């Protein structure tokens, strides 16, 4: 109902302006960042944003604590790479299958989310992440275990007749590819959470029984939220493999799930823009703290704890508070 109100129409227009600003930023970034080290960091940033907004969709909106994001990330990375290496599939076919496989695994895990809530789901998804990690580590004939897979090629060069070739070995093009994809996923998720789908998911988060009494099919929507969230992680994994060129199981240990969770919490759970800030901050900040060595992960942990204790709304809440302080009359809407 709220869709037709003039206020909602204005907000929807405002969101479209922000999409455009984000697209301009993505387009402009490689012009200022020319150094290959920082371009690689930008791509890692884009992948972390993809992982974080995916997790926030299931955690912040549907209220399901999923600690299995590292497993879906790993599933996407390994399945797409192995499909290219072992079956000779083209990269984009492997990308599609890898993303779908991760999404399907997420929908499968939601079977537990239907029967369990809160802590039980957190531990079930953690258990799932441990199992996937151990399979990657121990199925040596397929994954080469701890030795890893080396020399993974970048996505194939795109060549349209009459246009210059786009080679993804070039970090600038790979950045446009990953950041562009992330932006598209962001827009899709943002449209979804501002549609009746988002209202349905928050209804399940707030009170599942009441939601069911309104005719909301909880299990179906949870499966949907899990599938979307894990497919986003799977897609990030498909990009991760050719970016790094190497796959080892340790990249997908359960601690990776905690890192993604940290990005969502520090940024602001339950808003899509929050995890974007969280992912950027927690990806770029450690680069500046590199001289501190192990200190940077201590700061990582501290930021999560302090955010929960003092600023549970994350960066987004801090921003709102600051705006209220600066413009107390509320002239900014």
Partner 1 sequence: MSSIVLQQAINGIVVGSLYVLVALGLTLIYGVLVQINFAHADIVTLGAFAAYGVTHLLSGNYLAGIAAALGLGAALGWLINAGIFVPLRERGSELLPLIATIGVSIMLQNAMLALLGPIPYAFDTPYSNQVIRLGTLFLTVQNVLIILVSGVSIALLYGFMKFTFLGKALRAVSQDRETAGLMGINPGHLIMLTFVIASALAGLSGAMLGPVLVLTPFAGTSVIVKAFAIVIIGGFGNVEGTILAGLLVGLIESYTTQFLDPGLIDIVVFALLLLTLAVRPTGLIAERREENV
Q: Which of residues 83 and 316 has its CB atom nearest to partner 1 in the complex?
A: 316
**Residue keyed to tokens 């405002």:** 14
Q: Is 67 helix (H, G, I), strand (E, B) or coil?
A: coil
Helix (H) or strand (E) holding 277: helix 273-288
Q: Which of residues 124 and 185 has its CB atom nearest to partner 1 in the complex?
A: 124
Contact 80, 238 (CB under 8 A): yes
One residue of 304, 313, 315, 316 binding partner 1 per CB under 8 A = 304
Q: How far apart are CA 125 and CA 111, in angstroms?
A: 11
- Site for partner 1, residues 54 to 73, rule: CB under 8 A: 65
Residue 96 contacts partner 1 per CB under 8 A? no
Q: Least distance from C-beta 50 to partner 1, angstroms?
A: 21
Q: Which of residues 30 and 60 has its CB atom nearest to partner 1 in the complex?
A: 60
Q: Which of residues 16 and 117 has its CB atom nearest to partner 1 in the complex?
A: 117
Residue 212 contacts partner 1 per CB under 8 A? no
Q: Which of residues 63 and 103 has its CB atom nearest to partner 1 in the complex?
A: 63
Beta bridge partners of residue 166, listed in sequence order: 158
Q: How far apart are CA 155 and CA 150, in angstroms?
A: 15
DSSP 166: B
Residue 148 contacts partner 1 per CB under 8 A? no
Residue 104 contacts partner 1 per CB under 8 A? no
Residue 119 contacts partner 1 per CB under 8 A? yes
Contact 263, 33 (CB under 8 A): no
Write each residue from 231 to 270 as x if it is in contact with partner 1 (CB under 8 A), else as -, in one continuous string. Answer: -----------------------xx--x--xx--x-----
Give the CA-trace dihedral at 242, 164, 26, 177, to 10 degrees. -30
One residue of 150, 157, 312, 327 binding partner 1 per CB under 8 A = 312
């Amino acid at each position: 109902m709220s869709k037709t109100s003039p206020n909602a129409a204005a907000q929807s227009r405002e969101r479209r302006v922000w999409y455009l600003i984000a697209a301009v930023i993505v387009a402009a970034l490689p012009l200022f960042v020319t150094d290959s080290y920082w371009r690689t960091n930008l791509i890692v940033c884009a992948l972390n944003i993809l992982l974080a907004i995916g997790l926030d969709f299931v955690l912040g909106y549907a209220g399901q604590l999923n600690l299995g994001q590292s497993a879906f990330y790993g599933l996407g990375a390994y399945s797409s790479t192995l499909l290219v290496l072992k079956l000779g599939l083209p990269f984009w076919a492997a990308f599609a299958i890898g993303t779908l496989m991760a999404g399907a695994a997420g929908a499968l895990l939601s079977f537990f989310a239907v029967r369990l809530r809160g802590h039980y789901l957190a531990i079930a998804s953690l258990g799932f992440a441990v199992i996937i990690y151990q399979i990657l580590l121990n199925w040596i004939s397929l994954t080469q275990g701890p030795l890893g897979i080396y020399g993974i090629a970048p996505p194939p060069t795109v060549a349209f007749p009459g246009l210059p070739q786009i080679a993804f070995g070039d970090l600038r093009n790979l950045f446009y590819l990953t950041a562009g994809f992330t932006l598209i996923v962001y827009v899709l998720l943002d449209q979804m959470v501002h549609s009746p789908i988002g209202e349905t998911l928050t209804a399940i988060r707030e009170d599942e029984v009441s939601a069911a009494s309104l005719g909301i099919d909880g299990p179906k929507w949870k499966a949907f939220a899990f599938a979307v969230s894990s497919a986003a992680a799977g897609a990030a994994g498909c990009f991760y493999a050719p970016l790094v060129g190497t796959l080892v199981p340790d990249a997908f240990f359960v601690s990776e799930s905690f890192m993604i969770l940290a990005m969502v919490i520090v940024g602001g759970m339950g808003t899509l823009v929050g995890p974007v800030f969280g992912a950027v901050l927690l990806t770029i900040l450690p680069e500046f703290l590199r001289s501190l060595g192990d200190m940077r992960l201590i700061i990582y942990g501290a930021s999560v704890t302090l955010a929960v204790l003092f600023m549970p709304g994350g960066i987004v809440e801090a921003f709102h508070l600051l705006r209220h302080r600066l413009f107390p009359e509320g002239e900014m809407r």
